Amino acid sequence: MTKEGPFIPSWPGFDPAISFLAARLELGLGRKITRLAIMKLLYNPISPFARMCVITAREVGLKSLEIIGVETLSVTNANPEIVRHNPLGRIPTLITNHGHSIHDSRVICEYFAHHAGNKSVLPDEPVKRFRILTLQALGQGMADTAVALRYETATRPESLRWRELIDRNRERLTAACKDLEEHWVNELKEVTLGSITVAAALAYVDFRHGDLGWRDNNQRLADWFGQFSARPSMAPVTA
């Protein structure tokens, strides 16, 4: 989850003039929706966790989804609209066509795959399935760490910042990228919930922590990310 200060996101191609009001969007990349969306996703373009969900929805071929743009949130104040559907007050939160709430991003992504009948992003075969889930957990941990690092360096009052924690979180991100470079390049080549999660996490690291220099010693990971970033599913959400 990310609930950050009033910063304007700058994903490649993002148009800051786009309103964060509710928008009915076609995830099939081009066609307008002509019928009522069957699910609603509470979303913010800054959040790597919300972005994982949108990428997944596109990759599994989910036909339509209503994305409810949530205004940038305060770290210390809950958004009542989110709390109505998620007691933790976190995004992303999915509201199904039956009115049920689903969270967090890992559960939403799996639900999208199930709803679309897509087995390729998370197959049933145990060895492959748990390898993908482990890669997903690594990407999720990277996103958690990157958001925590952002809070510590930009949101917490400067006099209260914990230097040792900042350094440790930077070490975690560096170690995760090294592990991806050395042990996960083959798995990343397939579009799965694991590779999707890592891509969203790295995009957020680039956005908030560009000085980390994770590409410097991880050429294969950098090459993969460059290729994955060109996929249509990575395009920004547009109204």
Cite the beta strand spans of the chain per DSSP E.
23-26, 40-43, 64-69, 93-95, 101-102
What confidence category does residue 72 fall into, taking pLDDT thresholds of 50, 70 and 90? low
User: Domain spans of the chain?
Assistant: 23-116, 126-231
Q: Which of 140, 217, 228 is nearest to 177 (CA)?
A: 217
* Mean pLDDT calculated for residue range 214-235: 98
- φ and ψ at residue 65, rounded to 5 degrees: -160, 135
Task: Decide if pLDDT at 165 tops 50.
Answer: yes
- φ and ψ at residue 140, rounded to 5 degrees: -65, -40
Q: What is the DSSP string of 204-232?
A: HHHHH-GGG-TTTT-HHHHHHHHHHHTSG
Lowest mean pLDDT across 49-53, 63-67, 181-185: 63-67
Task: Decide if pLDDT at 44 tops 70.
Answer: yes
Q: What is 126-231's CATH number?
A: 1.20.1050.10
What confidence category does residue 73 fall into, taking pLDDT thresholds of 50, 70 and 90? low
Q: Which residue has the higher pLDDT, 101 or 5?
A: 101
Q: Which residue has the higher pLDDT, 164 or 20?
A: 164
Q: Which residues pair with 40 in a beta bridge?
A: 66, 95
* Mean pLDDT calculated for residue range 58-74: 86
What confidence category does residue 75 fall into, taking pLDDT thresholds of 50, 70 and 90? confident
pTM: 0.85
Give the right CATH number for 23-116 from 3.30.70.560, 3.30.300.30, 3.40.50.1000, 3.40.30.10: 3.40.30.10
Q: Which residues pair with 42 in a beta bridge?
A: 68, 93
